[in-house]
Amino acid sequence: MKSLSYLLLVIICLLSVSASQAQVLSDLYRAQLPVVNQSVNQRNKVIEQLFAKVIVKVSGSSQSLTNSMISAQLKQALQYTVEFNFSRVDSILHLNALFNEQLVDQLLKNSGVSIWGSRRPTVMLWLASEDEQEQRILISENSELDYSDKIIAHALNRGLPLLLPVWDLEDQLQVNLTDIWGLFSDKVASANLRYHSDFMIIAKAYRSGVSFRTDWVIYKSPINVDAFDIQPAQIIGSGSDEFATTEQALLAIVDQTSDFFSRQYSVDTQTQSGTIAFNITNVGSIETYVEVSNYLMSLKAIESLQVSMISQGIFTFQLTILGDTQSLLDVIGLDGKLINQSFGFGSQPLLFNWHKNLSKKSDIVATN
CATH code at 120-265: 3.40.50
- Show Cβ contacts of residue 266 under 8 Å, excluding neighbours closer than 6 positions: 59, 60, 61, 114, 115, 116, 117, 323, 327
The model's pTM is: 0.87
Question: Over the stretch 43-72, which tens digit does the pLDDT of each residue have?
Answer: 999 999 999 999 999 999 989 999 999 999
Based on its alpha-carbon atoms, the radius of gyration of the chain, rounded to whole angstroms, reads 22
pLDDT tens digit sequence for 115-156: 999 999 999 999 999 977 789 999 999 887 779 999 999 999
Phi and psi, residue 53, nearest 5°: -65, -40
Bridge partners, residue 93, by sequence: 88
Which of 46-50, 354-358, 363-367 has the highest mean predicted lDDT (pLDDT)? 46-50
Distance CA 327, CA 332 (A): 9
Taking all residues of the chain, what is their mean pLDDT, rounded to a whole number? 88
Q: Which alpha helices (DSSP H) does 271-360 contain, by range? A: 286-297, 325-335
Nearest-CA neighbor of 236 among 250, 221, 225?
A: 221
Indicate the DSSP class of residue 223: S
Least confident of 144-158, 189-203, 212-226: 212-226
Burial class (CB in 10 A: 0-12, 13-18, 19+), 310: exposed
Q: What is the per-residue burial (b if ≥16 Cβ within 10 Å, else e) of 234-250?
A: eeebebebebeebbbbb
User: What's the CATH number of domain 274-358, 1.10.10, 1.10.1660, 1.10.3470, 3.30.70?
Assistant: 3.30.70
